[in-house]
Amino acid sequence: MTMRWRPGPIFIILAIAAFIPLLDQVLPAKMQLSEAIRGVFLYAILALGLNVVTGYAGLLNLGIAAFMAIGAYTFGILTCEIYPFQLGFWPAIALTIPIGALAGFILGAPTLGLRGDYLAIVTLGFGEIVQDVLKNLDVVTKGTQGINPLPAPNFGGGEWTAEDEYKWYYLFFVLLVLTVLAIRNLERSRLGRAWFSIREDEIASRSMGIRVERIKMIAFATAAAIAAFAGGLSASVLSSTGEPSNYDFQISILALCIVIVGGIGSIAGVLVGALVMVGLNSIVLVKATAWMAAHGIGGQGNVLLSPNNWKYLIFGLALILAVRLKPNGLLPPRIERAHK
Amino acid sequence: MSVLRADGVTVRFGGLVAVQDVRFAVEQGEIYAVIGPNGAGKTTLFNAVTGIYAPTEGRVEFNGKEQVEPLTVRIIARLLATFFVVGVSTVIGLNIETIWTAVIIDNYKFGELFPWGHGIECFFSTLWNLPPAKSILPFLLGGGIGAGAAAVSWSRGRRAPDHIARSGVARTFQNIRLFNELSLVQNVLVGMDYRMETGFWSALFRLPKFYAERSQCHAAARELLQFVGLGDRADQAAGSLPYGFRRRLEIARALAGKPSIILLDEPAAGMNPSEIVALMALIRRVRDAGTTVVLIEHHMRLVMGVSDRILVLQYGRQIAEGIPEEIRVNPKIIEAYLGSENHG
């Protein structure tokens, strides 16, 4: 079967993303995009993980941030100089993946027999419990202080600093591309098909010999692994795990909104969704605030005239509009996707 | 030996007896029909056979074996391992602060090399020196709960539909259950899934055997769609198929795993006469290809036309069994369908 290769939406989005730093060279300093886009990449990786469990296998997971926290603290404990492990960036970031998967397995094993809403409630509770554990396990996690400082990646030329913006950008870009590739490979395989079949009709898949529990477990652990990976990256770029409440329900909901707005079960959709939901906050609103302040509109005193404060308003509006006008998301998955 | 044998199968839902003491045996290469008025328990019987319900009494055998996952040494070993791992994790989790302090905090001097050997010694000595209330008790409690839950979920899944399907028993559904958002090929491939051998890692890294299996399975799926007459629609979504074709797709999906027996639940429901004629030919072809067929059907021309033997159910009990010619003239069956002449 020789098919002429045509660039798909995923390829086009990633190709455009690869040139953002070049665009920054010509844009005025205040309009620079790459730092904000880097944040979009991070949430895109997190949402890609959530997309595996919620989009492909149809299991609503409201606690994905907990796995992000587990990844961040794993990275923190393994790298920070207050503990004896002191691994470098690469081994530590690689270890967040199996540890995240293990955490997913531990949560999944007793709960995956639950149906729909009940599972969602359990994952929600798990998200809260992880935060509380991290807050109170002072000896290990340093409580609300968080673990810091954490090392940045090192390619022999000394550690990166915040100045090395483009290095960070391309590191995140490459890791996002690798995540996309990995998920795409799983999606277009026997496993991905089994995930879809469970989402569509669990009884029918079971009667076709699909081992539903096992397939669900793999989805759960894969999602947890990817979320933990995103958590490790975020800890590395911030040089701190931050405090436990950085990984609260808001983050889980943001990831879920990215998946819903972008298109449930679609990789390209998740990428676009991350751009819309995160980019709106960290690019459009921030730049608009800066612009208005520079031109003397709004400013101090009037909170309503500062676009930064519109964040949740626009967030809700985007969600309502998406569900009303594009119920399948901005870039819904295509039927033909997996027959190649 | 019979391909399928039901021996005194009874299914009760609370006080309601849906199927009572049904016995039959289906021979290799047969087309066997189950008929009866609505609510006679035909679908319940199918569900009991395929593991969606567990029969309250009686047994179901395929090729002389009851399809219950056996309790092997491996499973006992797995339960013991679960007990140990969950137990130890409970103890460590409960005492994590003590252990972390004793192993890491007390031994690590900032800037110095960590004495790993000593750290590991500390880990075990801390574990041993825990008071029983914080060690042996949580170990037994945690391990017990973990292994107990694992044992319960294992025993519930012993006779699960996936296990029965994997032993070569395929089925279709009365209310069609296709994967509507997947293409026809994909639907068939789901049915083929348990025959496939490549796993997670070969899909993730696209190993050569992944490609080999994929092209092989896709070709087989297309061939099967050709066989049921859907070859030219292979890549469209199952949800966009006209009704009559959906039942064919369900049959193709059920055949994909090369089952030794296929159970069709009202395959002709909603079909027009010409579609029914084509369906009869298809059922015969399935049988001729070596698969034993059991079907539930109301459409008498189809039943009488293709079946080798017929089982009649009424109110959950079997009231007759025999070849079509016998069933056709059996007064009990005419009564069951049309009602008795002497009322009152």
What is the pLDDT, as a whole number, of residue B100? Answer: 92
Nearest Cβ partner for B253 among A190, A203, A208: A208
Q: Is B112 on the interface with A (CB under 8 A)?
A: no
Nearest Cβ partner for A200 among B173, B182, B257: B182
Give whole-number Cα distances, B219 to B222, B231, B247, B256, in Å: 5, 11, 21, 12
Structure tokens at A126: 């798990």
Residue B339 pLDDT greater than 80, yes or no: no
Cβ of B193 within 8 Å of Cβ of A207? The answer is no
Cβ of A203 within 8 Å of Cβ of B161? The answer is yes
Grade residue A57 by pLDDT with cuts at 50, 70 and 90.
very high
Lowest mean pLDDT among A216-220, B84-88, B110-114: B110-114
- Chain A contacts of B181, Cβ < 8 Å? 196, 200, 335
- b/e sequence A286-321, b meaning 16+ C-beta within 10 Å: ebbbeebbeeeebeeeeeeebbeebeeeebeebbee
Q: Is B271 left (phi over 0), alpha (psi -120 to 50) or beta?
A: beta
Spatial contact of B161 and A210, defined as CB atoms under 8 Å apart = no
User: What 3-state DSSP class applies to B198?
Assistant: coil
Grade residue B204 by pLDDT with cuts at 50, 70 and 90.
very high
Cβ of B204 within 8 Å of Cβ of A140? The answer is no
Q: Which residue is it, tokens 């955490």?
A: A103
Grade residue B173 by pLDDT with cuts at 50, 70 and 90.
very high
Question: Which residue of chain A has the CA closest to B115?
Answer: A84
Kindly provide the ipTM of the predicted complex, given to two decimals: 0.90
- Chain A contacts of B170, Cβ < 8 Å? 207-208
Spatial contact of A267 and A180, defined as CB atoms under 8 Å apart = yes
Residue A294 pLDDT greater than 90, yes or no: no
Grade residue A255 by pLDDT with cuts at 50, 70 and 90.
very high
- Chain B contacts of A210, Cβ < 8 Å? 162, 190, 193-194
Put simply, the chain A residues between 99 and 118 with a CB less than 8 A from any chain B CB are 110, 113
Q: What are phi and psi of B68, to 5 degrees?
A: -120, 135
Q: What is the mean pLDDT of chain A?
A: 87
Residue A340 pLDDT greater than 90, yes or no: no
Give CB contacts under 8 A, 24+ apart, made by B130-139: B130/B91, B130/B95, B130/B98, B134/B91, B134/B94, B134/B95, B135/B91, B135/B95, B138/B87, B138/B90, B138/B91, B138/B94, B139/B87, B139/B88, B139/B90, B139/B91
Cβ of A208 within 8 Å of Cβ of B191? The answer is yes
Prediction pTM value: 0.91
* CA–CA gap between residue B263 and residue B169 (Å, rounded): 8
Question: Which residue of chain A has the CA closest to B165?
Answer: A209
pLDDT tens string A146-164? 898 887 777 766 777 766 7
- Chain B contacts of A180, Cβ < 8 Å? none
What is the pLDDT, as a whole number, of residue A286? Answer: 82
Question: Which residue of chain A has the CA closest to B85?
Answer: A106
- Chain A contacts of B214, Cβ < 8 Å? 189
Cβ of B161 within 8 Å of Cβ of A194? The answer is no
Distance (Å) from the C-alpha of residue A110 to the closest C-alpha of chain B? 8
Grade residue B72 by pLDDT with cuts at 50, 70 and 90.
confident
Residue A215 pLDDT greater than 90, yes or no: yes
Q: Is the dihedral angle over the CA atoms A203, A209, A214, A218 positive or is it negative?
A: negative
Nearest Cβ partner for A209 among B180, B218, B257: B257
Cβ of A206 within 8 Å of Cβ of B160? The answer is yes
Distance (Å) from the C-alpha of residue B161 to the closest C-alpha of chain A? 5
Grade residue B109 by pLDDT with cuts at 50, 70 and 90.
confident
Structure tokens at B332: 């009990």
Average pLDDT value for residue range A10-18: 89
The neighbour count for residue A235, using CB atoms within 10 Å, is 30
- b/e sequence A84-115, b meaning 16+ C-beta within 10 Å: beebebeebbebbbebbbbbbeebbbebbeee
Grade residue A298 by pLDDT with cuts at 50, 70 and 90.
low
Cβ of A207 within 8 Å of Cβ of B52? The answer is yes
When scoring B204, B222, B225 by the number of chain A Cβ atoms within 10 A, the one with the most, hence best to mutate, is B204
Spatial contact of B20 and B58, defined as CB atoms under 8 Å apart = no
Strand order in the sheet with B57-62: B16-26, B4-13, B57-62, B65-66
Helix (H), strand (E) at residue B55 = none
What is the pLDDT, as a whole number, of residue A191? Answer: 95
Q: Is the dihedral angle over the CA atoms B270, B271, B273, B277 positive or is it negative?
A: negative
Q: Which of A74, A73, A77, A132 is nearest to B105 (CA)?
A: A77
Question: Which residue of chain A has the CA closest to B252?
Answer: A208
Q: Is A84 on the interface with B (CB under 8 A)?
A: yes
Residue A232 pLDDT greater than 90, yes or no: yes
Grade residue A134 by pLDDT with cuts at 50, 70 and 90.
very high
Lowest mean pLDDT among A42-51, A230-239, A279-288, B88-97: A279-288
* CA–CA gap between residue A166 and residue A290 (Å, rounded): 23
